[in-house]
Amino acid sequence: MPGRRPIRVLPPALMHQIAAGEVVERPASVVKELVENSLDAGARRVDVRIERGGAGLISVRDDGHGIPPDELELAVTRHATSKIADLADLERVASFGFRGEALPSIASVSRFLMSSRSAGQDMGWQARVTHGELAEAGPAPLDKGTLVEVRDLFSNVPARLKFLKTENTEARRCQDAIMRMALARPDVRFTLHVNGREALNLPEGQSLRERLAAFWPPAVMDGLLDVDLETRGLRVSGLASQPRTAQGRGDRILLWVRGRPVQDKLLLSALRQAYSGRLLSKEYPQAVLFLDLPPEQVDVNVHPAKLEVRFAEESAVFSAVRAAVARALDSGGALLRPSGVQVAGTDGETSAETDAARLSPPREAASLREPGQGFGAAGKFRGYSEYKRGPGRDDDFRSRQPDFSANRSGSLPLPTPESERSSPGEPFPRDHGADAAPLRAEVRAASKTDAPLVGGFAYLGQVSATYLVLAQGHDMLLVDQHAAHERVILEAMRAQRTRGDSQPLALPLELPLHPAEAERLEALWDDLRQAGFRLEQPAPDRLLLRGIPPTLDSGRAKEYLRAALNSGASGLEELWTMLSCKSAIKAGQALARDEALALLETWLACPDREYCPHGRPVVLRWTPAEMEKLFKRK
């Protein structure tokens, strides 16, 4: 063990290099800091040049307001800044930089030259710094704004050079840093030259879509939906992808807070939750989201590189982001949309509070037949005719469905009610307009060929004992029967089992417990009681089941409970998702026509019906133009 060393103040050069280690990670970090300074200076044009991936040269020139000669040397002095003067300024930071660390940190690990000319000055002025030491200062031939040149980055700390990647990789990271700032400031012109070649030329005045198209391919751009929601002093805007264009990586999720690019777990979690049930766990959306809020509601002084922030009201921010993205998905991402019915939120009149509230699962709903009770002895779904037309029935199938639309607005409008149709069996409202005439004719034609109608769609049959074929107007749709039934079962569980109703058992059921199951039981105890299970644990290895949900028989309740204790479910929602998969009809199971219609009618009454609880698509749709492409007719 080394002997004790005395406490002493570090030399200035070493302090600068330590600070540089926090701020200057790689050339892209330098580009980010210098461009942010240009934007803080009011620049309307920023030109960036890099050589050797930024290790050889990084040059940033702007047309901002410049720096007076008597302040130029202060600009490369640590903790010298024009952006804050007291604690009140720190609590309401409106600029990108404010600590006064970036320029001296960069200058301490490079050969640094800064030239600037402020308004009203006859000539420019420059300061040259070599590895943290001011070398010279004097006049400079510059007409306007500021020019910063950083040469031989990390030349005095060669150990840092070995952590850099290839020149091409570092150049891409520099371009990525510029992209994030350029997307937040479409009013500013940005250019980038790499080794003398123009890599970017982004004119001012572009829309967000136009600017993003310079970075993302057309296939991704075509699947983006507009996001815009303002609530309680918060505004969320930007673009988010439709679920069907998801990818396997999260590198196209870009977030900003007050125009500052950030990496924030809260915002990312809110975004992911908006896609819950629409994407698989291994899939990621593409999103460009901007959060604007009062400066006093966010603390940007929590990370040396200012990549992380902290919010005063995290729950409000989370709800706003989630609601904004979910609203965009609901209004623009549907493949299945019966004619003449408006999607909630598309008229611009739905309140932000309503958007946020409807994202929560319903706590009260009408009674729904237990999933599985609609099956006969062979495990098949009871026929459509049995519920719709069967004599002597004691229940009407539709009357037992919960009114999901009163609790959760899904991505699809509900089928047009019978009372609003022009005539019995016609799935279009009376005032749909002239455009509906061809569709009415096609649906009538379908009905004449004995194709039954359900919710405005003609049912044509089953393919491969797995997919249900529908027609609507000119389009053809395929519905995955297993995925559709999963969604039906999940919504039934949500509606029926959140009230904690329980049916007592005359004799309790006893279940032996493995230690691992006992641990899971403790974690799920409250959720299981909320679902209607009445449990007692007289010993660590023994569980008594004294009450069950009213819609389950004792055998199924015991099976569900055992599955819950052996699953990875962390709560009631995940448990229901797992159970819905286990209980749903399977691929390869043949359905009679009335059985398929019963399933389709129930499924059409569900929210979020385009996706199963795991996020897989339930329905695929082909337009005539798409089918012509498949047959190479175009």
Report the 3 state secondary structure along 123-168: CEEEEEEECCEEEEEEEECCCCEEEEEEECCCCCCHHHHCCCCCHH
> What average pLDDT does the segment 212-241 reach?
93
Q: Is the pLDDT of residue 374 over 50?
A: no
Per-residue pLDDT, 343: 29
CB atoms within 10 A of CB 222: 10
Residue 410 has pLDDT above 60, yes or no: no
Burial of 327 (0-12, 13-18, 19+ CB in 10 A): buried
- Strand arrangement of the beta sheet that strand 111-117 belongs to: 133-140, 124-130, 111-117, 145-151, 57-62, 45-51, 189-194, 197-202
How would DSSP label each residue in 185-221?
A: -TTSEEEEEETTEEEEEE-TT--HHHHHTTTS-HHHH
Q: What is the pLDDT of residue 360?
A: 32
Stretch 381-405: mean pLDDT: 38
Would 77 be classed as within a structural domain? yes
Mean pLDDT of the chain: 77
pLDDT at 423: 35
pLDDT at residue 249 tops 70? yes
- Whether the predicted pLDDT of 428 surpasses 70: no
Identify the residue with better confidence: 633 or 572: 633
Among residues 228, 224, 266, the alpha carbon closest in space to that of 247 is found at 224
The answer to whether position 7 is within a domain reads no
Which amino acid does the sequence have at 207? S
Q: Residues 448, 515: one domain?
A: no
**345 lies in some domain:** no
Q: Which residue has the tokens 């070995």?
A: 162
Q: Is the pLDDT of residue 420 over 60?
A: no
pLDDT higher than 90, residue 409: no
| Residues 184 and 76 grouped into a single domain | yes
Lowest mean pLDDT among 161-170, 330-339, 450-459: 330-339
Helix axes 265-274, 314-332, angle to 10 degrees: 30
CB 151 within 8 A of CB 57: yes
The average pLDDT across 429-443 equals: 43
**pLDDT confidence of residue 94:** 57
Residue whose tokens read 């990496």: 263
| Maximal C-alpha separation, the chain | 100
User: What are the pLDDT digits (tens) for 98-135?
Assistant: 555 788 889 989 999 999 999 888 889 999 999 988 88
Q: Which amino acid is at 111?
A: R
Residue 154 CB partners (closer than 8 Å, separation 6+) = 55, 109, 110, 160, 161, 164
Q: Residue 392's pLDDT is what?
A: 36
pLDDT of res. 331: 82
Which run of H or of E encompasses 522? helix 515-530
Quote the percentage of the chain above a pLDDT of 90. 36
Ramachandran angles phi, psi of 537, nearest 5°: -120, 90
Asked if residue 178 belongs to a domain, the reply is: yes
Residue span of the structural domain in which 150 resides: 12-205
Q: Select the more confidently predicted residue: 532 or 72.
A: 72
In three-state form (DSSP H/G/I as H, E/B as E, the rest C), the secondary structure along 380-399 is CECCHHHHHCCCCCCCCCHH
Based on the fold, state whether residues 455 and 594 are members of the same structural domain: yes
Instruction: Give the pLDDT of residue 351.
Output: 38
Distance in angstroms between the alpha carbons of the first and the last residue of the chain: 78
Reported confidence tier of residue 91, pLDDT bands at 50, 70, 90: low
Asked if the model's pLDDT at residue 224 lies above 60, the reply is: yes
| Predicted confidence (pLDDT) per residue in 563-576, tens digit | 788 766 667 777 77
Per-residue pLDDT tens digits for 464-523: 999 999 998 888 999 999 999 988 988 887 776 656 678 899 899 998 988 888 888 888
From 72, 81, 46, select the one nearest 125 (Cα to Cα): 72
Strand partners, 503: 548
* 88 — pLDDT class (breaks 50, 70, 90): low
Beta bridge partners of 511: 543
Selection from 316, 292, 288 nearest residue 226 by Cα: 288
- What average pLDDT does the segment 422-444 reach? 40
Task: Select, from the ranges 299-313, 371-385, 410-424, 532-546, the one with the highest average predicted confidence (pLDDT).
Answer: 532-546
CA distance 22 to 352: 40
Which comes out higher in pLDDT, residue 550 or 617? 617
- Alpha-carbon separation of residue 337 from 252, 254, 345 (angstroms): 28, 30, 14
Sheet harboring 467-472: ordered strands across?
453-454, 457-463, 467-472, 475-480, 619-622
Q: Is the dihedral of CA 568, 572, 573, 579 positive or negative?
A: positive
Q: Does residue 250 lie in a domain region?
A: yes
Percentage of the chain with pLDDT > 70?
Answer: 72
- Asked whether residue 60 falls in the same domain as residue 152, the answer is yes
CA dihedral 433, 435, 438, 442 (to 10 degrees): -80
How do 234-241 and 224-231 pair as beta strands? Answer: antiparallel
Lowest-confidence pick of 122-126, 333-337, 436-440 = 436-440
Looking at the structure, do residues 488 and 535 belong to the same domain, yes or no?
Answer: no
* Mean pLDDT value across residues 225-236: 94
The region that residue 466 occupies, defined by phi over 0 for left and psi between -120 and 50 for alpha, beta otherwise, is alpha
Please give the pLDDT value at position 323: 94
> Where does a domain end: 205, 240, 256?
205
Q: Do 132 and 201 sit in the same domain of this protein?
A: yes
CATH number for the domain including 306? Answer: 3.30.230.10
Which CATH number goes with the domain that contains 533?
3.30.1370.100
> What CATH number corresponds to the domain at position 377?
3.30.1540.20
Predicted structure pTM score? 0.62
DSSP 350-364: S-HHHHHHTTSPPS-
Among 332, 354, 374, which residue terminates a domain?
Answer: 332
Q: Is the pLDDT of residue 383 over 60?
A: no
* pLDDT for position 407: 36
3: in domain: no
CB count within 10 Å of CB 612 equals 25
Residue 208 has pLDDT above 90, yes or no: yes
Residue recorded with tokens 């460009």: 288
Instruction: Say yes or no: 140 and 249 in one domain.
Output: no
Q: How confident is the model over 251-284, as pLDDT tens digits? A: 899 999 999 899 889 999 999 989 987 888 788 9
Does 343 map to a domain?
A: no
Q: What is the pLDDT of residue 406?
A: 35
Q: Please count the CA atoms within 13 angstroms of the CA of 275 that sit on its side-chain side.
A: 25
Contacts (Cβ under 8 Å, ≥6 apart) of 30: 24, 54, 58, 106, 150, 153
**Is there a single domain that holds both residue 51 and residue 178?**
yes
At 1 the pLDDT is 55
Tell me what pLDDT residue 149 has.
Answer: 97
pLDDT at 214 over 90: yes
Both 22 and 154 in a single domain?
yes
180, 205, 230 - which closes a domain: 205
User: Does some domain include residue 99?
Assistant: yes
233 in the same domain as 190: no
- Check whether residue 68 and residue 134 sit in a common domain: yes
Structural domains in the chain (count)? 4
The pLDDT tens digits of the residues spanning 568-611 come to 666 777 777 776 777 788 888 899 888 899 999 999 988 888 88
Contact in structure between 466 and 437 (CB atoms under 8 Å) = no
Beta strands 310-311 and 253-257 are unpaired
> Which residue stretches of 417-498 are H helix?
437-448, 481-496
317 and 380 in a single domain? The answer is: no
Do residues 428 and 421 lie in contact, with contact meaning Cβ atoms separated by under 8 Å? yes
